Amino acid sequence: MRRSPNPVPAVLSFPEEAARRDCWGKLAELAPSGAKLSTRFVIERGALLFVSLRLGHEDFERIAASVTKVATDREGYRVADLAFTDEIQKRRLAKALLDILAT
């Protein structure tokens, strides 16, 4: 495991039926299987959302994820556990993370 000096920001978008505007957050942890997200916006457990982020020079658009757990930290930020659901995106993410961890 390696920690970046600054947290990776991410745009959070939602399915159309959720009728929600995009919001943003930062990733405290990131793995091919999922991520831990910290955001000031309201996130519900069980919600489906899409995460867009940049790793190095590679952009990842709308990684499908489901919210498996939500907690609130001392500042009132929601800390959500995200499970990525798209296998192709997970593999692509794994490759990018391997490259980062290998350097």
**Contact residues for other proteins (CB under 8 A)?**
1-13, 21-24, 26-36, 38, 40-41, 52, 54, 68-69, 74-77, 81, 94, 97-98, 100-101
Q: How near is the Cβ of 17 to other proteins at its closest, in Å?
A: 19
Q: Name the region of 45 (left: φ>0; alpha: ψ -120 to 50; beta: rest).
A: beta
Of 5 and 46, nearer to other proteins (C-beta) is: 5
Of 44 and 98, nearer to other proteins (C-beta) is: 98
Q: How near is the Cβ of 27 to other proteins at its closest, in Å?
A: 5
Of 64 and 97, nearer to other proteins (C-beta) is: 97
CA pair distance 97, 39, nearest whole angstrom = 22
Q: Name the region of 19 (left: φ>0; alpha: ψ -120 to 50; beta: rest).
A: left
Pairing relationship of beta strands 58-72 and 23-31 according to DSSP bridges:
unpaired
Considering only CA atoms, which of 72, 73, 63, 4 is closest in space to residue 35?
63
Q: How near is the Cβ of 5 to other proteins at its closest, in Å?
A: 5
Query: Side chain identity at 61, as an amino acid letter?
Result: E
Q: How near is the Cβ of 14 to other proteins at its closest, in Å?
A: 11
